[in-house]
A and B are shown apart, each in its own frame.
Chain A
Amino acid sequence: MVPVSYYFALSAILFTLGALGVLIRRNAIIVFMSIELMLNAANLLFVAFARTYGALNGQIYVFFVIAVAAAEVAVGLALIVAIFRSRQTVNLDEISSMKG
């Protein structure tokens, strides 16, 4: 059996990649994908430790998170599409007009 620390390391790597993606990438869709990566890193941690503890609650939480992520997709993509329609770009630097 794969030790739980391996899952932990993988999830930490995924989370870091996601966080870096949000900070570095400028395309709204890619930023959004990176956020999903962060959520899934947490999911992996939940599932791995649910197995370690022999408990089901961690696996149930993953369903909650997936449902929340789906709701976020609905709102987020709608926002991005709306912005693309009015500005023909989803580059965050070009979208940003308010300063100060």
Chain B
Amino acid sequence: MNESSTPFKRHLRDFWIAFRRNKLGLLGGFLVLTAIILALFAPLLTPYQPTEVIRDEKGRGLTFAPPSVHGPLGTDDAGRDVWTQLIYGARISLTVGFMAGFIAMFVGSLFGILAGYFGGRVDNLLMRITDVLLVIPDLPLMLVLVATVRQMELNISPLVVLTAVIGLLYWTSTARLIRSQVLTIKERQFVDRARAIGAGHMHIIRKHILPQIMPLIVANTVLVLSIAILIESGLAFLGLGDPTKPSWGTMLNFAFDRSAITNGAWWFYLPPGLAIVWVSLGCVLLGNVLEEMLNPRLTGHHLEDGQSMIAVSGKRSE
């Protein structure tokens, strides 16, 4: 109970102390953080440009060179450096994934909070929209949407289209989760107390509902990020990415198109695949651990007595 520290700092410190003990959480954080660092410092980590063709002494393009010939990850069919493409691709994959994830989270939280808090007709309307989105198969829908937007020749970058489509389709599970949480919080007595004091809806949502579900939102965002990155990779693999700014999915698409697999050029298709696994695994680990730590229902209660009582009665009935 340090007098000088603010409550927020105290929270943060307690959180960090608890988080540090969790090995899986640390691993997840490490995976995500390394990917972000590689993406941020890409120009410092390679002498080449992603589109630059590597040439041998005779000036010919060094195609399909294995890592033993050209380090660290060899070259692709056009003689471009795979390592350079990988770390520059991280920028695209992570940007699209993160942006889409945040959009999904924002829309999902907004829908969930409004539906859960106001209930009745608002709830019905918002949840029916959610249901419709849930039952339409998302992959075909996204293909159609992306293709249509592209057809309209609006001069929007394909990456923006991709981000928007993923973000605006993947908020449904979040909305349901947040809604159910808000429904239980709404019934708690401190919300009644706020109403009895004379507080308005905005005040109650901001001061009483949001702080309770914020941890859930944070944990869920991290989980949605991994989904967004996977979806982006899938769509890019199907050729819906931006060929001039290749992400990991686009790299896989190239590798597949140019028969890297039949050529045995594993260094061309394995690194982007592993990178996708790396980041999404990191997100899932981190998200699960955060959820476990931050979910108010899963953390300890002040009534330790009551808990041990329940444990005891449980033991008895065995």
A and B together in one complex: no
Interface on A for B, CB 8 Å cutoff?
Answer: none
